[in-house]
Each structure stands twice: as C-alpha cells, then as structure tokens.
Amino acid sequence: MSVRATFLILALAGAATLPTAAGAQAAPTASIAEMAATPLVRVNIAETLRTPPDEASLTVGTQAKAPTAKQAVALNKTKIEKLLATIRAAGIRERDIQTQGVQLAPDYRYDRTPDGQGQQRLAGYVASNSVQIKTRNIDALTSLLDALTAAGADSVYGPNFSISDPAPLRKEARIRAMARGQAEATEYALNNGFRTVRLLSVEEGTSYRGTDVIVTGSRVIAPMAPPPPPPAIERDSGGVVAPGQLETGVSLNLLYRMEK
C-alpha cells in the first residue's frame, strides 16, 4: 500500500494584514514565522477489507421457434412458466425475480438459388423471455444452474457476485484508515520536531471490487484485528462456481496541523 504525505507551509508575502473589498484594513493575521511554525501534513490512506460475497445474480432465458408468431409466443410461455416454477421451487423470493425482457422477432432463412445468388425467406418467428434472479444461497449455485438448464433455460448469464450490505465493511475500513492516518501524520510530526497533530479535514472516496489483492495494516502501528471469519461451510468441490472474495474499502485524504 502506498501512502503519500505532503507538507504544507502557509505563508503570506508582504505585510501581515490584508485589504478588504472596501479598501479597509482587516484584522492582523498570524505572522509568516507563526504560520511556518505550524506546518500542515496531508496523508492519503486507502484501507480495504476482503470478504466472500453473500449474494449472486443470474439472468436466464428461454426461446421458442414456430411457424407463426402466436405459436412461438405460446410455446415460449410454456417454457418460461416451467422455468419460473423451478426458480421458485429453489427458494428464490418473488422480489428477487424480475423480467428483463420479452421479445418476438421474425426468423429468416437464407436459401441458395440454382443461379448461386441466394434468397431470404421468412421461416417463422422466435419468441424469447429473460429473467434476472438473485440468490443468497451461494453454496447451492451449482445445483441451481443444473436445475435451471434441466427446466429448459436456453441461456444463462452469470453469476455476478456482490455484497448485499457493504456499509459495515466500509465502516470498519474507515476506522482503520483514520487510525493509520493519525499514526502516519504523527510520525511525520515527530520526525520534524513536533509533538502531535490535529485533524483539520477529511475527504473520502469508496472502492468496491473483486480482486485477488488485499492491503491492510500499517508500518507505524500494529493493524487492528480483522473481523471474525464467516462460519465454516461445506462447498461443492465438484461444482463449476468459485465465488472467491470481494474487496470493499475507503480512500481518505486527511489534512493535519502539526503542533508542539
């Protein structure tokens, strides 16, 4: 993890007073020497926590072809109803089932004519339907995929993994980042003859991504204890789904004043 620190020494050129908009003299400000005696240090800290995802989303679809549009729609309706019944039987809640699209399109075929030119003709119609589902039973994803394909799913996109509520993780990352920022700024202060620092401002950004990289701890203070791991669970070692872990964290821009 890289930490950038910047020393800022505020100084005014010329007199120790500033003219106001009306031309009058403002109240005396701190002298250049006084301002130089209390420099600022800016520290950029990024803190990240990594945890397994607790939800996954899939988009599944059905498709049916028939000579007429009415027949194609009817056939696809039967297929999607069977698929939805399987989804509900798998324990997916109604609020986690959402239709993503319904489509009816002509099905054209290209036939080659005796003269070698070719001709396009209408062979029928294609009706399709896609549904997005969300599940919190990560360990049953392989079984769910098997059930969906057995129920007639013609397409499956996903799974896409996520964390349902990243706020607690960001809160913990924020606590760690603030502690590291205080420690880093204090180290700079001590190395330059000051006793402590006082926080002046905080700017925050957030990060949320899947990655194999995790950066924690500090070279100044011992890292805080990580959050307790999730309970041990049995996973399908023969499955095709590997959830991995997701990274959630914050990036803080901290400004401190050095004090004697």
Please give the pLDDT value at position 38: 77
Instruction: Report the C-alpha gap between 173 and 175 in whole angstroms.
Output: 5
Please give the pLDDT value at position 56: 94
Please give the pLDDT value at position 146: 92
pLDDT means per 10 residues, the chain with 260 residues, are: 46 38 48 68 92 93 95 96 95 94 91 77 93 93 92 92 92 94 94 93 70 28 39 44 86 93
Give, in order, the Cα–Cα distances in Å from 80 to each of 92, 132, 137, 228, 237: 15, 12, 22, 42, 31
Note the pTM of the prediction, 2 decimals: 0.64
Q: What is the pLDDT of residues 134-180, one digit of tens each?
A: 999 998 999 999 999 999 999 999 899 999 999 999 999 999 999 99
| Cα dihedral: 80, 84, 87, 92 (round 10) | 140
Is residue 19 exposed (0-12), middle (13-18) or buried (19+ Cβ within 10 Å)? exposed
Crossing angle (nearest 10°) for helices 69-89 and 141-150? 150
Structural domains in the chain, CATH included, are 4-53+165-229+242-259 (3.30.110.170), 55-162 (3.30.70.2970)
Find out whether 48 and 248 touch, Cβ atoms under 8 Å.
Answer: yes
